[in-house]
Structure 1
Amino acid sequence: MALRTFIARRFMSSSSFSSHLGAAVSNLSAAGSAASDKPAPVPSDTLFVSGLNKRTTSEKLHEAFAKFGEVVHAKIVTDRNTGFSKGFGFVKYATLEDASKGIEGMDAKFLDGWVIFAEYARPRPPFGQTGTQDPYAPRR
């Protein structure tokens, strides 16, 4: 135990480690500021729900979110070929207020044994238009 402590102190006191540590911390802070540059989500009456159990049905999703407001429609997205759930879906509420209550009530909560995440759905880009024209641009 004493040997481990000695090695750890010796390693942490070396100048190369501290210089690498300082660079790593500055890189993390730069990444944190880049993440905060994202625009705030635009409130919508439709929620994007991710982290769903593969066995969760649209009916179960509707039931879970109906506790927080009037749900117009709930849909689990499925694979075209297999018909299995892709693990995410959409819930459409009657009003924006109900949608915000749905996020507050279900974000980071358990549904069918899995932690799910709810956020405002982003609008689709117009047909034929993609986010970027550069095929080699990194995806976000």
Structure 2
Amino acid sequence: MAFFSSIRNALAKSSVSPSVFQSQPSLSSFYSTLTAPKLFVSGLSRMTTDEKLQEAFAAFGNLVEAKVITDRMSGRSKGFGFVTYETIEEAEKAREGMNAKFLDGWVIFVDPAKPRELRPPPQQEPQPSETGFRTNKTVGWCG
């Protein structure tokens, strides 16, 4: 406790006014980790819809798209979604404003969206030979 009070007193006695610190731009204005205006939103409630997601993120700029990813079979939310803005600056404001906030009673996390990875095409299963047996192409011996 004494350590913090001595620091507070030293800062109060210093000749630098607090307004100098407040006028400094934030670090995020110099350096943004976003390379695209698309954000990944995780931790969504299973009851969150596209409309609720759009409503929550609309305050930070012009939304291009707000999409909750759903299960094909049940149609329910998988617990994550994507939000796309017109500019990277709007996306950065939304990321700072909505990260670790509550939406539909759940804490959500907002991160930059990663580009979709290309999946290799599915390999076709080898056709059985005339005898009905498949050949094993394992090389080596497994004692």
TM class by shorter chain equals 0.5 to 0.7
Runs of 4 or more, structure 1, over 3 Å off, are none
In structure 2, what residue type is equivalent to 1:63? E
**Which has more radius of gyration?**
2
TM-score normalized by structure 1? 0.61
Which among 56, 68, 75 is matched to residue 48 of structure 2?
56
Is contact 1:53–1:113 with CA below 8 Å preserved after alignment? Answer: yes
Query: Per-residue deviation at 1:72?
Result: 0.6
Is contact 1:70–1:98 with CA below 8 Å preserved after alignment? Answer: yes
Is contact 2:102–2:108 with CA below 8 Å preserved after alignment? Answer: yes
Structure 2 counterpart of 1:74: 66
Query: Per-residue deviation at 1:75?
Result: 0.4
Query: Per-residue deviation at 1:44?
Result: 1.6
Is contact 1:42–1:122 with CA below 8 Å preserved after alignment? Answer: no
1:49, 1:86 → 2: CA distance?
11
1:54, 1:90 → 2: CA distance?
15
Which among 91, 97, 117 is matched to residue 105 of structure 1?
97
Structure 2 counterpart of 1:118: 110
Which sections of structure 1, spanning at least 5 residues, go unmatched? Answer: 1-39, 130-140
In structure 2, what residue type is equivalent to 1:111? L
1:127, 1:45 → 2: CA distance?
24
1:87 matched to 2:79: yes
1:88, 1:67 → 2: CA distance?
20
Is contact 1:54–1:87 with CA below 8 Å preserved after alignment? Answer: yes
Query: Per-residue deviation at 1:108?
Result: 0.3
1:105, 1:41 → 2: CA distance?
15
In structure 2, what residue type is equivalent to 1:66? A
Structure 1 counterpart of 2:120: 128
Q: For the aligned residues, what is the CA RMSD? A: 1.7
| 1:67 match: secondary structure | helix
Aligned residues, how many?
90
Which sections of structure 2, spanning at least 5 residues, go unmatched? Answer: 1-31, 122-143
2:88, 2:120 → 1: CA distance?
29
